[in-house]
Every structure is written in structure tokens, then in C-alpha cells.
């Protein structure tokens, strides 16, 4: 690791720390229904949205109604995204004339699911598949919508703790509208122009034909990228306009645009911790969660950075410079861009998987085993290290419930969190969410490791599901594990070598996304409803304080232990064994063995 590399990580972290309070306080005011400094400029748009959509601003919803509204919003989002893709041939802004043949039903299903669940997993390459209109009207809109949903759920859960003896937890439509109009849209507009100033493209032209200096033909893809890039990062969506995502120079041309991207990813998740503290009337509670986030983030980033900078010993053996020198970055440069080098690639990989973003500026598939383990494990914790917009906060609140429950078991007292008794119902709901996601990851990974299909058939043309891997041995297993982890965790990054665009993978990964999103959300909303109905109890000498280092330690411990116990066996078969094999010089060739339970 170089000192400049460490300094860049520090600068990034300090930026997030500085912005947590002002934005967090702003959101607290906003979601408590107070006027903010943006109201004079944007209130008309909020009112117009209510009028057009038939929403009553002053009516609140019980958790079941809130959930129904969430499902309605998501299902219509899904249907529209699906239809726009399938109909792209008949819609405007399609200079490359992409038709429905580019998006068969299984792919359109996968993509629509992906953008409704804030996963933004991409089984397609944007520049060779989708028209500009679909990118804008279907995908950009869902980027906003799924992020707004995340914020809304987090706020509803906060209300569960902040209120007492109430049957309602807010109004879903109002929360979504306010999140979009006052938070996501204004920041996106500013960020989009900053991106364009750096060289991110924003046009509707057809692809440019180029005759290169040496006389070869090159065709350069174009499109309205910056407007999507801004919300892609801010909403922790992560679905790239181009196949190579944020490593593509048109999405992320300079170190500044790279810093801006990472800043946008952590901005809202960091600030929401302060919103929590403010709304429950004790900002120390918010900072404790920010502290737990920070500990886990910094551990991850330095493990990843150290592994990538140490590089691949097999490269060193054939004469590649793996130590950093003044004129070159050293380390493992396969799948990384020169302008980002090792430090910014490792930092980005950690940030994008801590949050449920999934944008990448380097190819995780080519990381060293331990460097790649960090992103994989980050997602498997449930993305509760800052996490997705909203998703990170409601995820960590789930772990808070578990942490105080475990602490309660140790001393034999009924656990409390933020003045609410944590009882059977809350713990059951938290466990349901944890188990559903773990099951989805492990079950689908196991299934795809053994299932076979007739070669050249409909379900999986390559034949056995493992024939879709781009790498063999433990790394190939990691590709499958990462795919279902990413889908279930609604992350969207990938060990992208795997050929995921076949009906089998499109459908199962799509299913994993639905499970990961809604079997996580709905139990939490149920818990929010149950919490809101409870009385607040005063803290006594016997109350376990949840704002000190002891609680931060307990919370981090709970996240790591739950993650480690659930996924350690699977990780041993992938990155951990690969690490030792790499150091013993073992290489793997791509030969698909005859396997399978139904072969």
C-alpha cells in the first residue's frame, strides 16, 4: 500500500463524515413534514405529483397499507419496465435500431426485476442491447424509484421507533414523492453536470464512426449517460449504461469523477444514520451506527487494498512488476484501469459492495482471491456497511434488534432498543429476513453447481449450469456464488465472466432478487408496525446503552458472526481455498466435467 493510496481513502471517508450531519438533518426535517430551504423552489412539483396521482398528503397508513402501496408501486414499475424493453423497436430515440430480439422475455424479466429491486444486475451489455429511450424512460426512472422506496422504508422503520402507541407508520406515497423531489432529483441534477464536465457523455446521437490513426475502423457508442450516471450512484443502483459499467471512460473518465461516484454512493446512507438519531431524539444513537459502519468499512477496504497491491505471485514469477514504483502502480492490474490504479479500484470495490450499489470500476472477477472475498463478504452481510440508500439503515436496524436480543439473552433481561421493548415478534421478523436471504444465496448456488440441461436446449444452451463459468476450479464456484449473492443482496455487481444471460440464470437470479428484496422488506415493515404501537419506556440503570463503543462492538460482532457462520463453508470452497492454491502455483484450465444430479 502506498501513502498516497491511503490518503485517498482517508479523503473519501472524511467527505462522507462531513456531509452526514447536514444532509441527515435535512432529511429528518423533510420526513417529519417540516418546510425545508428547498420548499420554495420545489414544493409545486411535490403538489403536482399528488394531484396527478390521486394521493392524499395528510392521510397516514398502517403497515399493511404501506406494504400494499409498496407492492403496487413495485409491480407497476416492473410491468412498465418490462413492456418498454419489449417494445423498444416502436419507441423513439433508438438510433441503433435495437429491437425486441435483443431482449427476449427471460432477459426482459430479469432486467425489469433487477431495476425494480434496486439490484441493477445486468445480464446484457447496455451499448449493444437497449435503446436510449429504454435507458431513460425505463431504467433511469427505476433508478430513482427503487432508491426512493429504500429511503421510504427506512423512514417508516425509524418512525416505528420514534413513535408510541400509534397504528400508522407514515404514508408511502408521500415518503416516496418527498425522497424523489427534494433529495434524489436536486442532487442528481448537480452531479450530472459535474459528470459531464469531466467527460461523461450526454447526447442522443447515433454511434460515431471513426477511422483510427492506424486506419482501422472503430465505432464509438454514445448516449444520454450522465443523467443516468448521477442517479445510478446516488441511488446506490449501479446499473451501468455500458457493459463495462463505471470502468468505461464515458461513465467514469477521471479520478475526480471516480471520487464523485463513490461520494454519491455513500452520501445518503451515511446521512440517514444522522436522520435516525434526530428522529428518535438522540443523535448519539445515529453516530453509534455510523461508527459501526465505519469500522467494518475500514477493515474491508484495507484487506482488499493490501491483497490487490500484493498482487498475483504467479504474475511476479513470469517477470511482472508487482511492487508500486513512481512510474507504475504495481499490484494486480488485470481488470483495472491505469487512471484508477490499485488504491482507487480496491476502494471502489469495497464501497460499491458495502452499499448495495454494484457499479464497478474494475473487474472483480480478476481480483486476487482475498481481494475478491471482500466484496463477496460485504454483500453477504446483507449490505449493512453504510448499505444501500435506506436499505443499509433498515438492514442495520435489523442487526441492532438481533444484537440487543443477544445481549438480553446474556444477562437475562428483556432487550430494549431506542426505548422500545424488543419482543418475540420483532426478533422473529428479523430472523425471517436473515434466513430468507441466506437460503436464497446458498440454495441457488448449490443448485447451479450441480444441475445440468441438454446442451443447445432452451433452458441453458451451454449444457450444465457450470458450463457458463468463465473460470474453472474454485474461482468458477466463486462466480456462481457471487451471482446469487449479488442478486439476493440486490447489489448487481458480478464476477462478470459468468454467462448469466440464459433462461436458467435469468430466472433464478431474478427470483433471488425478488426474495432478497421483498422477504427482507416486508418482515421489517411488520416489525415497524408492531414497534410503532408500543409504548416508549424510560431508560433505567438496567438499560443496556446503545450509543457507546460497547454497543458498536457488539453490533459489529453480530454482523460478522451471523455473516461468517452462514457463509463460511461456501467461502472456504471458493476464495479461501483459491488463495492457498494460488500461492502453491496451481492453475486451472476450463474443462467442464460431466456432473449433475439429473444428468
Partner 1 sequence: MWEQILPGLRIKIFLTIVLGVVYPLAITGISQVVFPKQANGSLVKAGDKVIGSEIIGQNFAKPEYFHPRPSSAGSGYDATASSGSNLGPTSAKLLRGTTKMDEKKNEVVDFDGVALRVVHYCVENEIPYESSAPLDQFKDARGDLDDVKLVKAFNDDKAPLVFKPKAPIPADAVTGSSSGLDPHISPANAEAQTGRIAKVRGIPAAQMKELIAQSTEQPSLGILGEPRVNVLKLNLMLDRRYPVRP
Binding residues for partner 1 restricted to 319-338, rule: CB under 8 A: 319-322, 325-338
Rule CB under 8 A: which of 180-199 touch partner 1?
A: 180, 185, 188-189, 192-193, 196-199
62, β-bridge pairs: 168
Give the Cα separation of 419 and 535 in Å (integer). 8
Give the Cα separation of 523 and 528 in Å (integer). 9
CB of 524 to partner 1, least distance (A): 18
Coil, helix or strand at residue 253 = coil
Q: Quick one: 267 or 398, whose CB is closer to partner 1?
A: 267
Rule CB under 8 A: which of 147-166 touch partner 1?
A: none
- Which one of 82, 250, 417, 505 is in contact with partner 1 (CB under 8 A)? 250
**95 touches partner 1 (CB under 8 A):** no
Q: Quick one: 365 or 426, whose CB is closer to partner 1?
A: 365
Residues in CB range of 364: below 8 A, 6 or more apart: 335, 349, 372, 375, 482, 493, 494, 495, 496
Q: Quick one: 14 or 435, whose CB is closer to partner 1?
A: 14
CB of 391 to partner 1, least distance (A): 20
User: Which range in 173-181, 282-290, 292-300, 386-394 contacts partner 1 by CB under 8 A?
Assistant: 173-181
**518 touches partner 1 (CB under 8 A):** no
Estimate the crossing angle of helix 3-31 against helix 341-354, to 10 degrees: 30
**72 touches partner 1 (CB under 8 A):** yes
CB of 139 to partner 1, least distance (A): 9
- Which one of 209, 540, 597, 598 is in contact with partner 1 (CB under 8 A)? 209
211, β-bridge pairs: 217
**91 touches partner 1 (CB under 8 A):** no
**49 touches partner 1 (CB under 8 A):** yes
**54 touches partner 1 (CB under 8 A):** yes
- Please report the DSSP string for 261-286 in residue order: HHHHHHHHHHHHHHHHHHHTT-HHHH
208, β-bridge pairs: 220
User: Are the C-beta atoms of 380 and 485 separated by less than 8 Å?
Assistant: yes
**558 touches partner 1 (CB under 8 A):** no
Give the Cα separation of 146 and 77 in Å (integer). 9
User: Which range in 176-184, 388-396, 453-461, 531-539 contacts partner 1 by CB under 8 A?
Assistant: 176-184
- Please report the DSSP string for 243-265 in residue order: TTGGGSTTTS-SHHHHHHHHHHH
* Stretch 479-498: interaction string toward partner 1, x if CB under 8 A: ----------------xxx-
What stretches of 351-451 adopt beta strand conformation (E)? 416-417, 420-421
**210 touches partner 1 (CB under 8 A):** yes
Rule CB under 8 A: which of 3-22 touch partner 1?
A: 4, 7-8, 11
**462 touches partner 1 (CB under 8 A):** no
**472 touches partner 1 (CB under 8 A):** yes
**470 touches partner 1 (CB under 8 A):** yes
Q: Which of 47, 132, 143 is nearest to 85 (CA)?
A: 132
CB of 189 to partner 1, least distance (A): 7
Rule CB under 8 A: which of 102-141 touch partner 1?
A: 125, 127-128, 136-138, 140-141
CB of 416 to partner 1, least distance (A): 32
User: Are the C-beta atoms of 133 and 169 separated by less than 8 Å?
Assistant: no
**242 touches partner 1 (CB under 8 A):** yes
> Rg of the chain over CA atoms, in angstroms?
23
Placement of cell 428522529 in the chain: 279
Residues in CB range of 551: below 8 A, 6 or more apart: 288, 403, 544, 545
User: Are the C-beta atoms of 38 and 185 separated by less than 8 Å?
Assistant: no
Q: Which of 543, 238, 560, 185 is nearest to 381 (CA)?
A: 560
**266 touches partner 1 (CB under 8 A):** no
- Which one of 318, 411, 538, 597 is in contact with partner 1 (CB under 8 A)? 318
User: Which range in 48-56, 154-162, 287-295, 378-386 contacts partner 1 by CB under 8 A?
Assistant: 48-56
Q: Quick one: 222 or 508, whose CB is closer to partner 1?
A: 222
- For residues 9, 12, 17 and 23, what is the CA-based torsion angle, rounded to 10 degrees? -160
CB of 362 to partner 1, least distance (A): 5
Residues in CB range of 259: below 8 A, 6 or more apart: 8, 11, 12, 15
Placement of cell 491483497 in the chain: 307
- Which one of 285, 294, 361, 485 is in contact with partner 1 (CB under 8 A)? 361
By CB under 8 A, how many residues form the interface with partner 1?
139
**47 touches partner 1 (CB under 8 A):** no
Classify the phi-psi angles of 14: left when phi > 0, otherwise alpha if psi is within -120 to 50, otherwise beta.
alpha
Coil, helix or strand at residue 435 = helix
**375 touches partner 1 (CB under 8 A):** no
Residues in CB range of 390: below 8 A, 6 or more apart: 147, 149, 150, 151, 152, 153, 154, 155, 268, 272
User: Are the C-beta atoms of 491 and 393 separated by less than 8 Å?
Assistant: no
**571 touches partner 1 (CB under 8 A):** no
User: Which range in 99-107, 453-461, 467-475, 560-568 contacts partner 1 by CB under 8 A?
Assistant: 467-475
Q: Quick one: 229 or 426, whose CB is closer to partner 1?
A: 229
Amino acid at each position: 500500500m502506498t501513502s498516497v493510496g491511503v490518503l485517498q481513502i482517508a479523503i473519501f471517508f472524511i467527505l462522507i463524515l462531513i456531509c452526514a450531519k447536514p444532509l441527515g438533518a435535512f432529511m429528518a426535517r423533510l420526513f417529519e413534514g417540516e418546510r425545508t430551504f428547498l420548499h420554495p423552489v420545489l414544493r409545486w412539483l411535490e403538489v403536482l405529483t399528488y394531484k396527478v396521482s390521486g394521493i392524499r398528503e395528510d392521510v397516514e397508513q398502517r403497515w399493511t397499507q404501506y406494504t400494499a402501496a409498496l407492492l403496487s408501486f413495485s409491480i407497476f414499475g416492473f410491468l412498465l419496465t418490462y413492456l418498454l424493453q419489449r417494445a423498444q423497436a416502436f419507441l423513439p430515440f433508438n438510433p441503433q435500431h435495437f429491437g425486441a430480439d435483443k431482449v427476449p422475455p427471460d432477459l426482459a424479466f430479469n432486467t425489469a426485476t433487477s431495476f425494480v429491486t434496486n439490484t441493477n444486475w445486468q445480464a446484457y451489455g447496455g451499448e449493444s442491447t437497449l435503446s436510449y429511450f429504454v435507458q431513460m424512460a425505463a431504467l433511469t426512472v427505476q433508478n430513482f424509484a427503487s432508491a426512493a422506496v429504500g429511503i421510504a422504508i427506512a423512514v417508516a422503520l425509524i418512525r416505528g421507533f420514534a413513535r408510541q402507541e400509534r397504528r400508522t407508520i407514515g404514508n408511502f406515497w408521500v415518503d416516496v414523492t418527498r425522497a424523489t423531489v427534494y433529495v434524489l432529483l436536486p442532487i442528481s441534477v448537480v452531479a450530472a453536470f459535474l459528470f459531464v464536465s469531466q467527460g461523461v457523455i450526454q447526447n442522443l446521437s447515433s454511434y460515431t464512426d471513426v477511422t483510427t490513426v492506424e486506419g482501422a475502423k472503430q465505432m464509438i457508442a454514445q448516449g444520454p449517460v450522465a443523467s443516468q450516471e448521477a442517479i445510478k450512484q446516488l441511488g446506490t443502483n449501479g446499473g451501468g449504461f455500458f457493459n463495462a459499467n463505471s470502468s468505461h471512460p464515458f461513465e467514469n473518465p477521471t479520478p475526480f469523477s471516480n471520487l464523485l461516484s463513490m461520494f454519491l454512493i455513500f452520501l445518503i446512507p451515511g446521512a440517514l444514520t444522522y436522520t435516525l438519531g434526530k428522529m428518535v431524539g438522540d443523535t448519539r444513537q445515529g453516530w453509534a451506527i455510523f461508527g459501526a459502519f465505519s469500522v467494518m468499512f475500514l477493515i474491508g477496504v484495507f484487506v482488499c487494498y493490501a491483497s490487490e497491491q500484493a498482487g498475483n505471485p504467479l504474475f511476479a514469477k513470469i517477470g511482472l512488476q508487482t511492487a508500486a514504483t513512481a512510474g507504475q502502480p504495481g499490484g494486480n492490474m488485470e481488470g483495472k484501469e491505469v487512471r484508477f490504479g490499485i488504491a482507487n479500484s480496491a476502494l471502489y470495490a469495497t464501497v460499491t459492495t458495502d452499499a448495495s450499489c454494484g457499479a464497478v470500476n474494475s473487474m472483480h472477477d480478476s481480483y486476487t482471491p482475498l481481494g475478491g472475498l471482500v466484496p463477496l463478504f460485504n454483500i453477504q452481510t446483507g449490505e449493512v456497511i453504510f448499505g444501500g440508500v435506506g436499505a443499509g439503515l433498515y438492514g442495520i436496524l435489523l442487526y441492532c434488534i438481533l444484537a440487543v436480543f443477544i445481549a438480553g439473552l446474556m444477562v437475562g433481561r428483556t432487550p430494549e432498543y431506542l426505548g422500545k421493548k424488543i419482543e418475540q415478534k420483532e426478533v422473529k421478523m428479523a430472523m425471517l429476513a436473515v434466513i430468507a436471504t441466506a437460503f436464497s444465496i446458498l440454495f441457488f448456488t448449490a443448485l447451479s453447481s450441480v444441475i445440468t440441461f441438454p446442451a443447445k436446449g432452451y433452458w441453458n444452451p451451454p449444457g450444465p449450469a457450470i458450463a457458463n463459468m468463465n473460470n474453472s476450479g474454485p474461482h468458477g464456484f466463486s462466480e456462481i456464488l457471487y451471482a446469487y449473492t449479488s442478486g439476493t443482496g440486490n447489489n448487481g455487481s458480478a464476477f462478470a465472466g459468468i454467462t448469466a444471460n440464459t433462461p436458467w440464470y435469468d430466472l433464478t437470479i431474478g427470483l433471488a432478487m425478488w426474495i432478497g428484496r421483498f422477504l427482507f422488506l416486508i418482515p421489517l415493515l411488520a416489525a415497524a408496525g408492531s414497534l410503532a404501537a408500543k409504548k416508549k419506556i424510560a431508560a433505567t440503570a438496567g438499560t443496556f446503552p446503545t450509543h457507546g463503543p460497547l454497543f458498536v462492538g457488539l453490533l459489529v460482532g453480530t454482523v460478522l458472526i451471523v455473516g461468517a457462520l452462514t457463509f463460511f463453508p461456501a467461502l472456504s470452497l471458493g476464495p479461501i481455498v483459491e488463495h492457498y492454491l494460488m500461492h502453491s502455483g496451481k492453475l486451472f484450465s476450463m474443462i467442464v466435467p460431466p456432473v449433475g444430479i439429473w444428468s
